[in-house]
């Protein structure tokens, strides 16, 4: 891709809107993941008693185990949602902008 073509793409208002939308979405998803991970770590650091509660009285598993698994599953689901949107909507928009600029 030439420097001129890249300049045309960057000056395209559709490209600028696309970048803003994609960045906003990425930041929101990142904040959700950071909140989940750091929230769990802060819970471990400051409220061990809460996480140490047994799920079933007299049982073996504490509340921390399913919450930890929940954090991992939550981030996997968020990653899947992001990848699905990136592979469909974002890729299609990027391709349309690229085709428009090369005409």
CB atoms within 10 A of CB 93: 16
Q: Which range of residues forms the domain containing residue 21?
A: 3-102
Whole-angstrom distance, CA of residue 82 vs CA of residue 88: 10
* pLDDT score of 6: 73
Mean pLDDT for the stretch of residues 33-44: 96
Whole-prediction pTM value? 0.79
Most distant pair of Cα atoms in the chain: their distance: 71
The number of folded domains in the chain is 1
Whole-angstrom distance, CA of residue 61 vs CA of residue 9: 56
Do 101 and 45 meet the contact criterion of CB atoms below 8 Å apart? no
* pLDDT score of 1: 58
């Amino acid at each position: 891709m030439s420097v001129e073509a890249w300049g045309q793409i960057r000056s395209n208002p559709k490209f600028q809107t696309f970048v803003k939308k994609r960045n906003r979405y990425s930041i929101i998803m990142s904040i959700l993941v950071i909140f989940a991970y750091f929230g769990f770590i802060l819970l471990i650091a400051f409220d061990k008693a809460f996480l140490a509660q047994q799920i079933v009285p007299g049982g073996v598993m504490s509340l921390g185990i399913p919450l930890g698994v929940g954090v991992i599953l939550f981030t996997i689901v968020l990653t899947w949602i992001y990848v699905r949107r990136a592979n469909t909507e974002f890729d299609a928009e990027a391709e349309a902008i690229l085709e428009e600029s090369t005409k």
